[in-house]
Chains A and B, each alone.
Chain A
Amino acid sequence: MKNNKTPIDPRVIFLFVFFLSMVSVVLRDALLLLPVLLSAVIAAMIAKAPAGMVLRRLRGLWAMLVSVTLLQALFSGGGIIAGLLTGAAVLSRLVILMLGGALLSRYPGHVLVQGMLQLRLPFQLAYMVSVGLRFVPQFGESFRDSLTAMQLRGVDFKHLKLRARGKVYAYLLMPTIVSGVRQAQKLAMAMELRGFGAYPERSAYAPLRMKKRDWLALAAVTLWGAALSAGILLWRSRA
């Protein structure tokens, strides 16, 4: 239903991704996350979102995440099964969020911005988000470089004590965060110099319009969301 020539209105996808992220952040139970993960996967498949590409871009992160997960499983109290479940929950949450990102990545930035504007979000915010998305691959590369630089300095991740490991991971994120913030500052300055936000009202060249297909998709997403919420609530009240 989603792969005709023009993609579904981005606002519908926003709703879907918003719900996905809310649920995946709130839920702590790997079993409950499973249907959410499944719906995200199915949606990505229907929409032909470049999920594989997104996952591949984060390849450098994968090994680390899996090892962190395993460690958590082994060292946090409560036995191996409980630990593994916690690890699985963390991982599936991440995958859900990335699939959400993949769904949105099919839209050109200006369409996303337009969608957010028509949802009455302030323009600056909308623009910031769309620019941020575009820098994601760069973050991945920067992070991978730092990871290898750290290893070249002789830091052996496998043989670190737990406390040292926390510190090393924090250090690893530093270069990426710093260069990200720097880039944002530079960009903001450059944009202001070119008159960004000089007028309070912005007019749009191509406003979005909901078509029949979009309404159908919206209905589907709403139904799905309601069903999922109901299911989760039921499950909780039973347990």
Chain B
Amino acid sequence: MTIEARELCFAYPNTASGFRLDGISFAIGSGEPVAITGPNGSGKTTLGKLLCGLLKPRSGTVLFDGEDTAHWSLGQRGQRIGYLFQEPVRQLFAPTVLENLTFTQELQGTAPELARGRALKLLSRFELERLAARGAYTLSRGEQQRLAICGLLLSGPGALLLDEPTTGLDARRKAILASVLRELLEQGVSVLLISHDADFVRQNAERELKMGELCHEE
């Protein structure tokens, strides 16, 4: 899936901080891994939320596969793009690890057995299968992060937007994440990494969008 931002402008309502994004434009091709980098508070998370539709730009457009997404519902966006929150706890709902992956599928009418099978397959990919019956909230930070990523992959999105995906991951799990990302890229899934992890960015992104430069591009 391709993602394109055209002249995005945004400012948070009623804050005195004066933070704003001005005229941000870029395009990401299908199966292209791109990183968004920049110092703390430079607006990476804000830009990510704009792309996913969690925030509405003052002006400008976000296009998925060339289609204007302005009037899409969150559910429609979610099916195209998987968004990892900077705080993964907020993405975990069900009491157990496994249920976190099965409940959305069951709501959408997937047979329980099938849903379970898919969930277990994803869990084992991220080495979480031993934890399937554990409480989701007793997981460590890195485990929660991996579980949240599993949740995103369930619906087979055309693009992934990961806000600090390596926070809390050990070297081995970072490598797993990298290999999963490579597989997805080969299938044409676009990947947008928001990250401070310079090594991970260097190894996994072909292009780096620096917040500072994006803002001044006309």
Contacts and interface: CB of A to CB of B under 8 A. Distances in A.
Interface in B73-105: 73-75, 77-79, 82-83, 85, 87, 89-95, 103-104
Interface residues on A, range: 20 to 34
Interface residues on chain B, size class: 20 to 34
Interface in A156-182: 156, 160, 164, 167-168, 171-172, 174-175, 178-179
B103 A171 contact: yes
A146 B137 contact: no
Given A148-B54, A155-B107, A174 B85 contact: no
B87 A145 contact: yes
A67 to B, nearest CB: 15
Contacts of A153: 78, 91, 104, 151, 154-155
Contacts of A175: 89-93
A25 interface: no
Given A145-B85, A168-B107, A151 B93 contact: no
Contact of A171 (B54, B85, B94): B94
B75 A154 contact: yes
Nearest to B106: A164
Interface string A139-150: 000100110111
A198 interface: no
Interface string B44-80: 0000000010100000000000000000011101110
Nearest to B81: A152
Contacts of A156: 73, 75
Given A168-B107, A171-B103, A174-B95, A152 B90 contact: no
B147 to A, nearest CB: 13
Nearest to A165: B107
Contacts of B52: 152
A158 to B, nearest CB: 9
B78 A152 contact: yes
B208 to A, nearest CB: 26
A174 B49 CA distance: 22
B89 A178 contact: yes
| Dominant secondary structure of chain A at its interface with chain B | helix
Nearest to A56: B14
A138 B1 CA distance: 35
B108 A154 contact: yes
Contact of A149 (B73, B90, B107): B90
A236 B131 CA distance: 57
A156 B107 CA distance: 9
Q: Which of B52, B75, B77, B79 has the most CB of A within 10 A?
A: B75
B14 to A, nearest CB: 9
B79 A154 contact: yes
Contacts of B75: 151-152, 154-156
A149 B89 contact: no
Contact of B74 (A146, A151, A164, A179): A151
Nearest to A172: B93
B137 A154 contact: no
A7 to B, nearest CB: 24
A141 to B, nearest CB: 9
B46 to A, nearest CB: 14
A145 B87 CA distance: 10
A174 B93 contact: yes
Contacts of A145: 85, 87, 90
A151 B73 contact: yes
Contacts of B108: 154
Contact of A155 (B54, B92, B95, B104): B104
A200 B168 CA distance: 41
7 contacts: A152-B52, A154-B75, A156-B75, A160-B107, A167-B103, A175-B90, A175-B92
Interface of B: 52, 54, 73-75, 77-79, 82-83, 85, 87, 89-95, 103-104, 107-108, 137, 151, 154-155
Closest 5 CB pairs of A and B: A152-B78, A151-B74, A171-B93, A145-B90, A149-B91
